[in-house]
Amino acid sequence: MAIKRTVTVATAVASLAIIGATTATGFAGGHDRRPSPTLDRAAAGAVDTYGGARRVDGDQRATIASALKPAGATNVILIIGDGMGASEITIGRNYLVGAGGQLRGLDALPITGQMTHYSVDRKTGKPDYTPDSAATGSAWATGVKTYDNAVSVDRHGTARPTMLQLAKRSGRATGNVTTSEIQDATPAVQVANISLRKCYGPNETSASCPEAALENGGKGSISEQLLETRPDLTFGGGSKTFSQKAKAGPYKDMTLADQARKRGFTYLTKKEDLAKIGSADQRHPVLGLFSEGNMPVKFASLVASKGGAEKAAVQCQANKDFEKVPTLGDMTGKAIDVLSKSRAGQKKGFLLQVESASIDKKDHAADACGQIGETAQIDDAVAAALDFAKKDGNTLVIVTADHAHTSQIVDGATPGLDARLQTHDGADMIVTYGTAPLGGSQQHTGAQIPVAAYGPGAAQVAGLIDQTDLFFTVRDGMNAYRKH
């Protein structure tokens, strides 16, 4: 059986061996704007035939070489699947496109690796092997390990500059997109420095983070710090917190929403507003809050249960509330378009962080369909980023997770909670959750997580890296491009 392939790749150590040969490809020592390949890794044919399940054909060295450009990117797009470990990706692939299928974004990235993730104990500095999203996000945002619940402060409480803040200093346009509340841990780590992730607004901050409260001379809540950090563009949920009033400072007694408008933000709350956005910059940043809390997910809930493996297989259904908000793919595409066309984006480039937040939230709830739908959402976001990066030629796209999670594919009933799904292949897949009882919150797990990249500097994720390496890869890549 003949195998048609546009591009292919090897991983980790093999890829590094090619770097020394890149002079022959014409891009060593400079920036070649010609598009590098992404992957076509769908199975060759029917997976039950000889050679049908193959994803790789031929010698991979030339493809690897063409995917490796020197570090130094005009633009950086960092995409996070919250709780998206290898198991969550595999569950999503099996259900959405089949065992031999290819996720059009996640599976197209040419350079791959594995990433260690752990936090540290606040008192001792020893590793905590099952971290939360605040500590892990702080690690890539600032380059330093910290304790669970901390937002871009180290374990001693010292605020650390984030990659978004550094991108602003370099003159770049900046953006932050999520499907969660914009004050949630992952988006917060780029725009705020605070001791506790739940200090969303002035009310919570006065009670739980008094050292940060404006009335005590602090930097304010996460929402208030977001307004001060002033990304050019922010999309997500979390409008409810913006009804709180500032307790001190020049905007005392004004709601955060009114403060945002007063400070020049274009403040949006409706799905149809997304299409109307034509520009975003420091004079008029865009703040789009499309739900009061976390944004609705793509698929209706299917919560795993005791004995769920013995039930008939089902398929996931659409969530009607999802129609009320923009998709992650649409928000990502709009953010890239606006940031790349802004004056700062044209002159210096841009930094954009994107998160599919509810892979984690639905994994906690043992909601197999909810989890799968949000994996589909991140896949759309990655595809949008790659479409731009291939045309641009100087954009680094990095895709990874903050931590691993609990869902597993098994072959029968377990002592835990199970769900039986009928996949794209027409086959049954049993997904199990075994780290909490029914109604409890499933736990994070400590296994290393996948990381993949495309564009200038992509080789930095090959092999085994640590979460803090992402900060230095992005920082050094932005600095390297400024020198050219």
Residues catalogued as catalytic: 133
In whole angstroms, give the CA distance from residue 143 to residue 152: 9
- Residue 255 region by backbone torsions, left for phi larger than 0, else alpha for psi between -120 and 50, else beta: beta
Q: Is 21 helix (H, G, I), strand (E, B) or coil?
A: helix
Strand arrangement of the beta sheet that strand 428-433 belongs to = 408-410, 428-433, 417-422
- Residue 360 region by backbone torsions, left for phi larger than 0, else alpha for psi between -120 and 50, else beta: alpha
In whole angstroms, give the CA distance from residue 127 to residue 53: 40
- Residue 246 region by backbone torsions, left for phi larger than 0, else alpha for psi between -120 and 50, else beta: beta
Q: Is 45 helix (H, G, I), strand (E, B) or coil?
A: coil
Say if CB 1 and CB 52 are below 8 A apart: yes
At 175, give phi and psi (nearest 5°). -150, 155
β-strands 266-268, 408-410: how paired? Answer: unpaired
Instruction: Give the alpha-carbon dihedral of 407, 107, 336, 296, to 10 degrees.
Output: -30
Closest CA to 369 of 411, 327, 314, 311: 314
C-beta neighbour count of 436 within 10 angstroms: 16
In whole angstroms, give the CA distance from residue 324 to residue 38: 33
Buried b or exposed e, range 379-394, using 16+ CB within 10 angstroms = bbbbbbbbebbbebbb
Say if CB 171 and CB 339 are below 8 A apart: no
Q: Is 335 helix (H, G, I), strand (E, B) or coil?
A: helix
C-beta neighbour count of 136 within 10 angstroms: 29
At 88, the amino acid letter reads E
DSSP letter for each residue of 202-213: HHHHHHH-GGG-
Within 192-283, residue ranges assigned H as helices are: 202-208, 222-229, 256-262, 273-276
Q: Is the dihedral of CA 303, 305, 309, 313 positive or negative?
A: negative
β-strands 173-181, 233-237: how paired? Answer: parallel
β-strands 286-289, 350-356: how paired? Answer: unpaired
